[in-house]
Amino acid sequence: MRILAAMSGGVDSAVAAARAVEAGHDVVGVHLALSRAGGTLRTGSRGCCTIEDALDARRAADVLGIPFYVWDFSERFRDDVIEDFIAEYQAGRTPNPCMRCNEKIKFAALLERAIELGFDAVCTGHYATLIDGEQGLELHRASDNAKDQSYVLGVLTAEQLAHTYFPLGTTPSKAIVRAEAESRGLSVAQKPDSHDICFIPDGDTRGWLAEKVGTATGEIVDRSGEVVGSHEGAHAFTVGQRRGLKLGIPAPDGKPRFVLEVRPVSNTVVVGPKEALAIAEIAGERFSWAGAAPTESAFECHVQIRAHAEPVPAQAEVSDTGVRVVPDVPLDGVAPGQTAVLYVGTRVLGQFTIDTTVSAVPVGA
């Protein structure tokens, strides 16, 4: 096949490209410039998409003997990922920018251009596997559960999966990938993984949002509506947050309080006991299937609400208005805006953006 290898400058994408070459494919490397004024250097695991990363990707391509290009996707990244991130926080939701980047950039904008240029597939260093099932191509978890990235790929559609290539999915461990990079002479063999939001490399999401959307004093209230503190912008809070609340009135039982809800219209933050973070039901209108859609409107599955969360057995129901999921045991600290990915065994069935949640602990209980 003609393969376009997305090379981030890290060890995973470099080894993925190497394996594509070794498999006999016609491979071209490409690095995505996602910022018009990208940083020069990384600091350990902080940041990505820097000039240093682009140079690392180029060096890896040179070692592999493949053509290499840098494509400017900064405008699309700004509109589809950064602006979406800001808008979601302003609306009181908790977005996942990595999920949105996969959906809008790597497997939409990049894949669209790749197909236009005659490539058969885009190759990435994600840890996930593709399997030919009875109803077509299926997305499954990686062999290494510790590195599995199927959650952040849950937004991919059947059409997109048909043009993707994940050479690392069956690799037993990341240590094997690093050892392989070393043996191939790739300088990124021991390069740290990136863990932070790439456009907020210092990790200060609250400060970054304050610069983008400003501050506005509002009230912090408990579940009964009593004012227990104040804040300088509801966008700076996320469901489940405990630190930085600076409450003026302690809880009657003396226990810590957590953010339960963010109300952007009234600029209000609702806090309460940890038990109230338990969620008995989630639902969302925006959903997609990673391959064949379920044949039944109601079915058993597992639901995962974060990239590294444990999947929870659940009952799902699909209708014209969206997806509703009732977990067998309450979920912890779910926020509107998060992505819920549904699994059947190791297979990714699909995903939806959480719009509403129902607490397992009624007010006053």
Element (H, E) at 312: strand 312-319
Q: Give the Cα separation of 49 and 69 in Å (integer).
A: 14
Q: Which residues pair with 70 in a beta bridge?
A: 31
Cα separations in angstroms, 40 against 86, 94, 201, 211: 24, 29, 12, 22
The Cβ of residue 159 has, within 10 Å, a number of other Cβ atoms equal to: 10
48, 49, 98, 198: the active-site residue: 198
CA-nearest of 264, 211, 231, 341 to 88 is 264
Contacts of 37 (CB under 8 A, 6+ apart): none
Contact between 9 and 55 (Cβ < 8 Å): yes
Integer Rg of the chain from CA: 22
List the catalytic residue out of 49, 98, 101, 301. 101
Is there a catalytic annotation at residue 198? yes
Question: Is 98 part of the annotated catalytic residue set?
Answer: no
What span, in angstroms and rounded, lies between the C-alpha atoms of 152 and 255? 35
Q: 3-class SS at 100?
A: helix
The catalytic residues are: 101, 198
